[in-house]
């Protein structure tokens, strides 16, 4: 194994061992082989340098999933740039904030967005990347390759934006050591082998699809069946030539409903992994009934990578639990002040280890709010821990909705709605949704005498907020329920509207 802390050097070493075998396969055709990884990333890294990307500079990327997008990520690591991927659903209003905050020297956007993104950019070079190997990023690729650079463990590899319960999105700074430690741990824990074949169905702008899924394959020299979207029948159709799948509970729910899902169809698969949102015990059981396979549920976060996992071997995968802390990761369950709660009692899960991020980009005060002096990060997830160490998530101390594996922070939606004319106040909640796990609902009170409507509110915020954050329903009411202290009782609203999407 390379002694270079650049995680890319470890991928390259595995690629050299893998030889001519495919890395990315799309529609049965090799889109990228391990043998080509060095040259292709070397050229692209040289291109990024020529565009002005120096070591430590940020590269902001908002493009569709494609093999070239994977190469771009790897080239950025190779060149020592800090990779900043953005959800393709973000609107230009959201993008403007990220560009201002990250101050990138290179920005890569979809060809169709070039003019709009160009208008937002104060500095830095803008290039495009299309879905079919087109785009100005790939023009003028130099013949010479940039060598895989030496990195220190604490050097930044990526910044991933994550919203907060207050204020604007924060950029979680992840170092090469953060990414590498988590990837090596998971490689061993989940038994990754070079003959594994991963079905990749996740977006590659979040921890799950970009790091957990791709790093596992890259470190092991395994092949990846690359799906750009999620079509349950197509995914099941790949099971016979694959061994692993990673997804969010919405994926598993849709797979379970597909008529093609049978025990026979899954017989070649060795592991189904779920995370990013709670997998209901019933969903776990329904999947097992149809396939004979027990999903392995794990738990993680942008700021920390993976924290706990149910066992792959040597223990039971218990539905409704997220398993045990990873080997080099320590967790404790604490009360609000940070003191550990009594054994077995619920409290906020705090975590420390080589996986824990280096802080929020240019927001030391936010970092300080969420880190204990001894280096434990406060996740905001409420959990219990059994005497044998097994963790069960039982709630959230943070006001957060998770829809289809994507985080929605009610505060951000409430601020957008409250700013509209005719709105006095709003409360945004998540209620059970059969497909997405939770569905976003806004409960809104009008200013005295003002006429507001569901359609009017949805229309007014549609240009500001990414589609997945927009409420599925807006309910106009006379008043919000409040407790004696005047605080809005969201729990009462969640109870009242729990059947809205039933
Ligand atoms: C799509 N829509 C969503 C949505 N995804 N709305 C709410 N929440 C979501 N997650 C919108 C679409 O814009 C569309 O709106 C409508 O819902 C129906 O879309 P669809 O075609 O059914 O959705 P689809 O494209 O199939 O996407 C669903 C999905 C996708 C589950 C495949 O959301 C997805 O890939 N989720 C995974 C997210 C992820 O990678 N999370 C990991 C975060 S990392 P309309 O009105 O236009 O029709 C993390 C750490 C960790 O959390 O531990 O892993
Ligand atoms: P993100 O900030 O987008 O990385 O989302 C992280 C959050 O997703 C965590 O803090 C949890 O609330 C949630 N999460 C991740 N995995 C699981 C899981 N297996 N079960 C329940 N919630 C999860």
DSSP calls for 336-360: TTSPBPPTT--EEEEEESTTS---B
Q: What's the pLDDT score for residue 252?
A: 98
Relative to the CA of 302, which ligand 2 atom is closest? 4
> CB-hemisphere CA count at 13 Å for 290?
20
Q: How many CB atoms lie within 10 A of CB 240?
A: 12
> CB-hemisphere CA count at 13 Å for 7?
31
Residue 162 in contact with ligand 2 by CB distance below 6 A: yes
Q: Are 403 and 440 in contact (CB under 8 A)?
A: yes
Q: Distance between alpha carbon 305 and the CA centroid of its chain, in Å? A: 9
Residue 186 in contact with ligand 1 by CB distance below 6 A: no
Tokens of residue 87, six digits: 């959800």
The best mutation among 161, 274, 301 to test binding of ligand 2, ranked by most ligand atoms within 8 Å of the C-beta, falls on: 301
What is the H or E stretch that residue 247 is in? Answer: strand 244-247
List C-alpha distances in Å: 119 to 99, 185, 410: 11, 43, 29
Residues 305 and 125: their CA atoms lie apart, in Å, by 30
pTM of the model as a whole: 0.97
DSSP characters over 126-184: EEE--SSS-SGGGTT--SSPPPPPP--TTSEEEEEEE--SSSS-EEEEEEHHHHHHHHH
**Comparing C-alpha atoms, which of 228, 279, 238 is closest to residue 258?**
238
φ, ψ (nearest 5 deg) of residue 306:
-80, 140
Q: How far is the CA of 300 from the centre of ligand 2 (A)?
A: 6
Question: What is the β-pairing status of strands 82-85 and 244-247?
Answer: unpaired
Q: How far is the CA of 402 from the centre of ligand 1 (A)?
A: 10
Residues 47 and 78: their CA atoms lie apart, in Å, by 12
Q: How far is the CA of 400 from the centre of ligand 2 (A)?
A: 10
Q: Where are the beta strands (DSSP E) in 19-57?
A: 22-26, 29-33
Residues 84 and 106: their CA atoms lie apart, in Å, by 10
Relative to the CA of 298, which ligand 2 atom is closest? 19
Q: What's the pLDDT score for residue 1?
A: 46
**Domains identified in the chain and CATH numbers:** 33-150 (3.40.50.980), 401-496 (3.30.300.30)
* pLDDT 10s digits, 411-458: 999 999 999 999 999 999 999 999 999 999 999 999 999 999 999 999
Q: How far is the CA of 208 from the centre of ligand 1 (A)?
A: 13
Q: Whose CA is nearest to atom 4 of ligand 1?
A: 468
Q: Whose CA is nearest to atom 1 of ligand 1?
A: 468
**Comparing C-alpha atoms, which of 348, 430, 330, 305 is closest to residue 389?**
330
The best mutation among 64, 404, 461, 466 to test binding of ligand 1, ranked by most ligand atoms within 8 Å of the C-beta, falls on: 404
Q: How many CB atoms lie within 10 A of CB 264?
A: 11
Residue 297 in contact with ligand 2 by CB distance below 6 A: yes
The best mutation among 296, 393, 396, 437 to test binding of ligand 2, ranked by most ligand atoms within 8 Å of the C-beta, falls on: 393
φ, ψ (nearest 5 deg) of residue 308:
-135, 160
Q: How far is the CA of 251 from the centre of ligand 1 (A)?
A: 9
Residue 23 in contact with ligand 2 by CB distance below 6 A: no
Residue 275 in contact with ligand 1 by CB distance below 6 A: yes
Q: What's the pLDDT score for residue 409?
A: 95
List C-alpha distances in Å: 501 to 167, 401, 461, 468: 29, 15, 22, 16
Tokens of residue 139, six digits: 């023009």
Residue 401 in contact with ligand 1 by CB distance below 6 A: no
Q: Whose CA is nearest to atom 28 of ligand 1?
A: 404
Residues 6+ apart with CB under 8 A from 499: none
Residue 304 in contact with ligand 2 by CB distance below 6 A: no
Q: What's the pLDDT score for residue 330?
A: 98
Residue 404 in contact with ligand 1 by CB distance below 6 A: yes
The best mutation among 86, 158, 277 to test binding of ligand 2, ranked by most ligand atoms within 8 Å of the C-beta, falls on: 277
Residue 302 in contact with ligand 2 by CB distance below 6 A: yes
Q: Are 235 and 199 in contact (CB under 8 A)?
A: yes
**Comparing C-alpha atoms, which of 393, 367, 339 is closest to residue 171?**
367
Shortest-distance ligand to the CA of residue 228: 1
Residues of the chain with pLDDT under 70: 1-2, 164-167
Radius of gyration of the chain (CA): 23
The best mutation among 228, 405, 408, 455 to test binding of ligand 1, ranked by most ligand atoms within 8 Å of the C-beta, falls on: 405
Letter string b/e over residues 358-379, b meaning 16 or more CB atoms within 10 A of that residue's CB:
bbbbebeebbeebbeeeebbbb
Q: How far is the CA of 403 from the centre of ligand 1 (A)?
A: 7
Q: Are 146 and 46 in contact (CB under 8 A)?
A: yes
Q: What's the pLDDT score for residue 121?
A: 96
Q: How far is the CA of 272 from the centre of ligand 1 (A)?
A: 19
**Percent of the chain at pLDDT exceeding 90:** 96
Residue 208 in contact with ligand 1 by CB distance below 6 A: yes
Q: What's the pLDDT score for residue 4?
A: 85
Letter string b/e over residues 411-424, b meaning 16 or more CB atoms within 10 A of that residue's CB:
ebbbebbeebebbe
Residues 27 and 38: their CA atoms lie apart, in Å, by 23
Q: How far is the CA of 163 from the centre of ligand 2 (A)?
A: 13
**Comparing C-alpha atoms, which of 149, 148, 175, 150 is closest to residue 160?**
175
């Amino acid at each position: 194994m390379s002694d270079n802390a650049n995680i890319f050097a470890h991928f390259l070493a595995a690629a050299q061992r893998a030889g001519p075998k495919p890395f990315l396969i799309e529609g049965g055709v090799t889109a990228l082989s391990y043998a080509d990884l060095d040259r292709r990333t070397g050229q692209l890294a040289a291109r990024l340098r020529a565009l002005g990307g120096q070591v430590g500079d940020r590269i902001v990327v908002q493009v569709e999933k494609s093999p070239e997008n994977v190469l771009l990520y790897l080239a950025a690591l190779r060149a020592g740039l800090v990779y900043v991927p953005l959800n393709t659903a973000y609107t230009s209003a959201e993008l403007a904030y990220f560009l201002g905050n990250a101050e990138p020297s290179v920005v890569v956007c979809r060809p169709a967005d070039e003019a709009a993104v160009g208008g937002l950019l104060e500095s830095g070079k803008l290039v495009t990347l299309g879905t079919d190997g087109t785009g100005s990023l790939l023009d003028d690729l130099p013949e010479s390759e940039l060598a895989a650079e030496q990195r220190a463990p604490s050097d930044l590899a990526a910044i991933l934006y994550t919203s907060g319960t207050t204020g604007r999105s924060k950029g979680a700074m992840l170092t090469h050591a953060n990414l590498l430690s988590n990837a090596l741990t998971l490689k061993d824990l989940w038994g990754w082998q070079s003959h594994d074949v991963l079905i990749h169905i996740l977006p590659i702008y979040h921890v799950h699809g970009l790091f957990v899924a791709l790093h596992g394959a890259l470190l092991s020299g395994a092949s990846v069946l690359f799906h750009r979207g999620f079509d349950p029948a197509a995914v099941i159709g790949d099971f016979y030539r694959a061994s692993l799948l990673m997804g969010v509970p919405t994926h598993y729910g849709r797979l379970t409903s597909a008529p093609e899902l049978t025990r026979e169809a899954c017989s070649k698969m060795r592991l189904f992994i779920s995370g990013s949102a709670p997998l209901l015990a019933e969903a776990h059981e329904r999947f097992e009934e149809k396939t004979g396979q027990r999903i392995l549920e794990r738990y993680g976060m942008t700021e920390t990578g993976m924290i706990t996992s149910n066992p792959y071997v040597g223990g039971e995968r218990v539905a409704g639990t997220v398993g045990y802390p990873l080997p080099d990761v320590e967790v404790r369950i604490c009360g609000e002040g940070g003191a550990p709660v009594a054994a077995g009692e619920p409290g906020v899960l705090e975590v420390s280890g080589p996986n824990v991020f280096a802080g929020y980009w240019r927001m030391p005060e936010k970092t300080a709010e969420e880190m204990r002096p001894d280096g434990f990060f406060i996740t905001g997830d409420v959990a219990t821990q059994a005497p044998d160490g097994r963790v069960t998530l039982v709630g959230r101390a943070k006001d957060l909705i998770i829809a289809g594996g994507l985080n929605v922070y009610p505060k951000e939606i409430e601020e957008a709605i409250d700013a509209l004319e005719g709105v006095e106040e709003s409360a945004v909640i998540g209620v059970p949704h059969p497909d997405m796990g939770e569905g976003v609902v806004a409960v809104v009170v009008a200013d005295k005498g003002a006429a507001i409507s569901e359609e009017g509110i949805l229309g007014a915020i549609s240009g500001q907020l990414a589609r997945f954050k927009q409420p599925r329903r807006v309910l106009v009411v006379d008043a919000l329920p409040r407790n004696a202290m005047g605080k809005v009782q969201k729990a009462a609203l969640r109870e009242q509207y729990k059947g809205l999407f039933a």
